[in-house]
Structure 1
Amino acid sequence: MKKLLSSILITYAGFIQSNETITLVGGEWPPYVSESLKYLGITPRILTEVFATENIKVNYRFYNWARALEMVKKGEADGTFLWSKTTEREKYFFYSKESVGTISYVFFHLKDSPFTWSSLKELQGVRIAATIGYHYSDEFDRLDKEGFLNVNRVKSDLQLLKMLFKQRVDIIPHDLTVGYYEINKHFPESMKKLFTNHPLPIKKKPAYLLMTKKNSKNKKIIEIFDKSLAKFKKAGKYDQYYFDDLLANKYKKP
């Protein structure tokens, strides 16, 4: 994406002038965010519309996630998004109170292979595939490392779904949103309906908008954003964009 400089327009410290422009940075994580998607993905679509209600324009620049976070920490960009809260990060960033997404890992399975669970220790002997390098939860990774769980680690999320479809495994842990996006993208209509997920999350955590503390005005911007996002969610548009429009494949470019 063409690099766009942030235009900072303020009347005096802490007050926001209309027609403000901010720059948010992030990486590829479809369907949450991607240069290859319409609206740049679900999260930028929401962020852009929420800020627009306050006459704030958003420019997006793409880097790897670690670099994006470091840029915002140094004040080289205004903000980044889809980050969890940590004590260390709160030293450098203003956090939105309202989450801009929820990262939820669940077990996918085939509809004609019913599956239920309430504890990971119940899954001994169940054939599981998971992606190399992914952290699904502390307990899942510990039981995997100890050999209690029968986990086959593979190179990609798509490979997981293909193994599940071919019934080479019984269940796969996957991000709920990303999972259905990939099913929608890579499988024909006749196959999409074969997949489902168990509702109990393996891990679930909110993700937030972060803005650099290098610029004090960002505290006010975050406050404005939170109020507008709360109204956006109450109106039902958040759920529509994250769920209905995703399943309707509305993020695919023409």
Structure 2
Amino acid sequence: MIRFLRLWLAFIASFCAQLLWAAGADNETLIITGDLWCPVNCAQDAQQPGIFVELVQHIFAERGIKVEYRVTNWARAVHEVRRGKANALVGAGVRDAPDFIFSKTAVGVSRNCFYAKQGLGWRFQGVDSLAKVTVGAINSYSYGAELNTYFERYRADSARVQMASGDRALAINIDKLRKGRVDTIIENSWVMQAYLAKKGQADTLLEVGCRKIDVPIYVAFTPALESSQRYVDIFEQGLERYKAMGEMDALYRRYGIAPESLGTR
């Protein structure tokens, strides 16, 4: 009788603990932030808020944790996460915030590639190979020290470099490419694949070489809050499970990204 009573009390205690955990989780909110970098993270009200955003939402929803996604400029996003005003920074490289807490697994890579129409007969093979083409790039973007130096050196020579600016810079460069005003354009591979897929033009441009080295990108958690290590552990476990189940590849494809092009395997 006494043994039965102890077992019963243990069951009640365990049951109550689970109820308390569930109640706490229902009130738990994870705040993530970053600047617009679609398809990594897109507009807050978009039907597809971004690959990283969806991953965070799905993984933490499994634990009953709500996710609040905020869009702001990059400097402010880094500042808010560093101070613990937000829990995590979306689309960060280790160099962006080396003091933040990163998962073991990168969600993706940042890779700058060159694109051209079929029949160009040219591939990017280092900066010296650019002397044979006119390149379209985006003003104020960083493409790595070597390419940045090249673009700055020849930005006044429209036969070698043409810079586009503004919110429609990518669309402007693609239009120039199609009209033959530039031979090739450089763009982040995720951004280009997602843009062309959205426009129904996935096979209209060819990738003709990429800049090395790829930069791994993460969801990086604040060093200011004790809860961060728990969140990192939850996120890492979710990433490993989603990869094993093929859910990651399915998510990439929904945004027009070819998983085999990521270089994260």
Normalised TM-score (structure 2): 0.77
Q: For 1:53 and 1:109, how far apart are their aligned partners in 2? A: 42
State yes or no: 1:25 paired with 2:33.
Answer: yes
State yes or no: 1:104 paired with 2:111.
Answer: yes
Q: Secondary structure at the match of 1:46?
A: helix
- Cα contact 1:26–1:63 (8 A) shared by 2: yes
* Superposed CA offset, 1:98-117 (max 9, x none): 11221111001112323323
Q: For 1:180 and 1:103, how far apart are their aligned partners in 2? A: 13
In structure 2, the gaps of 5 or more residues are 1-16, 258-265
Q: How do 1:10-21 residues align onto structure 2 when only pairs under 5 Å count?
A: 18-19=25-26, 20-21=28-29
* Superposed CA offset, 1:11-70 (max 9, x none): 9xxx99644421111222222212252241222111211222333321112222211111
The correspondence for 1:212, drawn from 201, 222, 237, is 222
* Superposed CA offset, 1:211-240 (max 9, x none): 112211211210221122112122222122
* Superposed CA offset, 1:156-176 (max 9, x none): 121111111111111111011
Q: 1:130 — aligned with what?
A: 137
199-208 vs 137-146, which deviates more?
199-208
| Aligned residue identity for 1:33 | N
Deviation at 1:192, TM superposition (A): 5.0
Q: For 2:126 and 2:211, how far apart are their aligned partners in 1? A: 11
Q: For 1:142 and 1:31, how far apart are their aligned partners in 2? A: 28
Q: Secondary structure at the match of 2:238?
A: helix
| Aligned residue identity for 1:27 | D
- Cα contact 1:53–1:228 (8 A) shared by 2: no
Deviation at 1:184, TM superposition (A): 3.5
Deviation at 1:136, TM superposition (A): 1.0
Deviation at 1:83, TM superposition (A): 0.5
Computing the radius of gyration from Cα coordinates, the structure with the larger value is: 2
State yes or no: 1:69 paired with 2:78.
Answer: yes
State yes or no: 1:229 paired with 2:235.
Answer: no
State yes or no: 1:144 paired with 2:151.
Answer: yes
Q: For 2:217 and 2:193, how far apart are their aligned partners in 1? A: 19
- Cα contact 2:114–2:186 (8 A) shared by 1: yes
Q: 1:89 — aligned with what?
A: 97
Q: For 2:213 and 2:176, how far apart are their aligned partners in 1? A: 22
Query: What is the aligned residue count?
Result: 229
The correspondence for 2:54, drawn from 45, 58, 62, is 45
Q: For 1:237 and 1:128, how far apart are their aligned partners in 2? A: 37
Q: For 1:90 and 1:194, how far apart are their aligned partners in 2? A: 39
| Aligned residue identity for 2:35 | G
Q: 1:175 — aligned with what?
A: 188
Q: For 1:166 and 1:203, how far apart are their aligned partners in 2? A: 31
Q: 2:124 — aligned with what?
A: 117
- Cα contact 1:137–1:202 (8 A) shared by 2: no
Q: 1:239 — aligned with what?
A: 249
Q: For 2:212 and 2:115, how far apart are their aligned partners in 1? A: 11
Q: For 1:98 and 1:192, how far apart are their aligned partners in 2? A: 28
**Structure 1's 55 and 201: CA in aligned 2 closer, same or farther, altered over 3 A?**
farther
- Cα contact 1:106–1:197 (8 A) shared by 2: yes
- Cα contact 1:136–1:202 (8 A) shared by 2: no
Q: For 1:60 and 1:144, how far apart are their aligned partners in 2? A: 35
Q: For 2:256 and 2:121, how far apart are their aligned partners in 1? A: 22
Q: For 1:37 and 1:115, how far apart are their aligned partners in 2? A: 37
